[in-house]
Amino acid sequence: MESLVGRTLQNGKYFIEEELGHGGFGITYKAIELNNQNEPVVIKTLKKGAAHHLHRDKLRKEFLEEARRLVKCEHSNIVRYRYFFEENNQPFIVMDYIPGATLDEIVLPDKPLSEDVAVEYIKQVAEALKVVHRNDLLHRDVKPQNLILHETTGKVVLIDFGISRKFSQGKTQTHTNLISEGYAPLEQYLPKAKRTTATDVYGLAATLYTLVTARIPIAPTLRDRIPLDHPRDLQPHLSQGVSDAIMAGMAIEARDRPATVNKWLKLLSNPSRTRNLALAGGTPGRSDRRPTRTQDRSNLSLTAKEEDLDSFSSPNRLPNITKSLLFASLFGFGIAYALEMKLLSFGKPPIQETIEPDSSLKNLNSQKSQKKLEAERTTRKLEKEVLQDRQKTQARKEAEENAADREDASIAVETEQILDKNQETAKATAEYQKNLQWEQEKADIVKKQQKILQQKLPQTIYPGRTIRQKENMTRTEGGYRPARGEDGEEED
């Protein structure tokens, strides 16, 4: 069908004002409802190419499914479905018109939002996704282009449910081959993969990445070659908790992401304690712990010695012998205490407060490196499988094309041979006709010659006999003589 701009639908109920955009098979228009105070609406339908597509019935069915999905998902942050109708065998969906700009128009190319504003927008989208997931649906296309900031209410509205699908948690299902680079997780690149709500968690985290950095994230299929920059590396003013939550939601493997939107929101609200502890260099409160046993006894010994020395300097000093005995006792007690500590600590590692944080950080880094290597191996494996599938498909396509070319070439050769034979046959037929005509002309000439010859021959061959009488004459050595009849007489 041609552009609908300037036309009316439903017997003049809707007037099409302008085209808003188009996708793979659909096209969206802004219209006004004439019998409702010219209220603006959005009308979506199939494109001209899709209307004549070989699988038009399937596309129409999917188009109707989008309308049904919209009906199920009622929320202030989800575009509202109004009406569905068909005209001239063409399906149409009528939705609310959301005045405002999309978030990608607001942020890109270089206008990142503040952390508080971006997080508030994302929380609104998260509430919309919860409704979607409660209806056993995945949106599968969460990105700034599908989020409109309402210019009046200030709310972010989720639009375009064109590739949303019903899902069964954890079951392997076939994915539609429609993706948004930078916002689609790795599992959407595969023809068949387990569908979980972690798919939309990735899109939500990737959208927040764009809002706070004004950059489109690296696609997961390329992150083994081009590392994804940490948001805080691009915008140092971001809090560590928000930056870590974004990276957790954008984990390449679905099993490494928060399983649900709620779990990811908890990371966003309560920064990961493990990450913060590693960056801080140890467990909080370690510096406030009570002194160790060794420190306690050392302090007690010093205190006792100081008190004894103070008593010696008092006015009521003891005799010198008493001083000697006290010093000897104290000295012996110190040696005994040192030996006891040595025996108690024998075979035990010394307690070193400053080692624990470094050890914890080292272990954490080791675990992260191991996970990173596993993720890279898995990504390479998946990319290898995808590449092999593409190569097989390409090889099969080339083989089919070569077979078709060979068949076409064979048909062309056979056709040429048939044409050659037809030409030879036509040539032989023409030659035969020519020869036949020549023979006919030759026969005609012979007849003419015989006729002329007969006209020029003498009238008498034998005296008194005409040429007609020649047939009744007998040839002799001396010439012709009349033939004799039965009675022996010559015939006249």
Phi (first) and psi of residue 20, to 5 degrees: -95, -30
Beta carbons within 8 Å of 371's beta carbon, 6+ residues apart? 256
pLDDT in tens, 39-84: 999 999 887 665 555 566 777 777 777 677 777 788 999 999 888 8
Distances (CA, A) of 290 to 293, 301, 353, 388: 9, 18, 12, 62
- Largest Cα–Cα separation, the chain: 216
pLDDT in tens, 236-246: 999 999 999 99
Residues in the chain, overall count: 492
Sign of CA dihedral 200, 201, 202, 206: positive
pLDDT in tens, 336-353: 666 656 555 445 444 444
pLDDT of residue 165: 45
Asked if 93 and 45 touch (Cβ cutoff 8 Å), the reply is yes
Q: What is the pTM of this model?
A: 0.53
pLDDT of residue 476: 57
pLDDT of residue 124: 97
Asked if 43 and 93 touch (Cβ cutoff 8 Å), the reply is yes
Closest alpha carbon to 473 in 464, 481, 465: 481
pLDDT of residue 331: 65
pLDDT of residue 444: 87
Between the CA atoms of 311, 316, 320 and 323, what dihedral angle is there, to the nearest 10 degrees? -20
- Flag residues of the chain having pLDDT under 50: 163-168, 170-177, 272-274, 276-319, 345-346, 348-357, 460-462, 468, 492
Residues forming a β-bridge with 173: 193
pLDDT of residue 273: 42
